[in-house]
Amino acid sequence: MTKRILLAGVLGGIAMFLWEGLAHEVLPLGEAGIRGLDNEAAVVAILKENVKQPGFYIFPGGEVLQPGLTGAQKEEATKKAMEQWRAGPSGIMVVHPEGIESSPRVLITQCLLDIVVTLLVAFLLSLAPSISSYGGRLLFVSLIGLVPTLSAELPYWNWYGFPSTYVLAVGFVHLMGFVAAGLVVAAFVKAASAPGAARSAA
């Protein structure tokens, strides 16, 4: 059974990775809901001048995150930030002042991450012996693909105003990625569906 899980995780993770590549490089899903800056050069120049450390930034309201604030000071800073958020502009950004390299390592890392998550899914499926049919196993894996959107993308939409188009596109990419992985995983992780099958498959 362990060999089946490992094989399902690796092959299923590769299937998920290939789907993600198709979604981002061939289909319009990778750019859905994302816009470029109207005056990018001017904004980049301001960032270079004012943001010196790489990190995850939120604005307005940076005062709230300053260390050493008393309770009263933090309450006042939070009130001010909420007023500024309503007035706008507001947003979040990940900034790398020195740039960031796009290399084969990034693709390899993504593929490995897909394999790891698919290994976890294959293991979870192996613990569900009552799912005996291929269709049922595929559905089990596919439904897990809703978790990233429900637990991460939708909260980003709710709290930070991520574009609905972006969230829907990313959610579809997540779901179909698990469907692609599930087509493989459901074919391999099936020994647990019958009593004693795990021993015969080992």
| pLDDT, tens digit (0-9, with 9 covering 90-100), for 153-192 | 999 999 989 999 999 999 999 999 999 999 999 999 974 4
For 2-31, write each residue's pLDDT tens digit: 899 999 999 999 999 999 999 999 999 989
Backbone angles phi, psi at 92, to 5 degrees: -130, 155
Rounded to two decimals, what is the model's pTM? 0.84
CA atoms within 13 A on the CB side of 42: 3
Mean pLDDT of the chain: 89
Tokens encoding 81: 């930030």
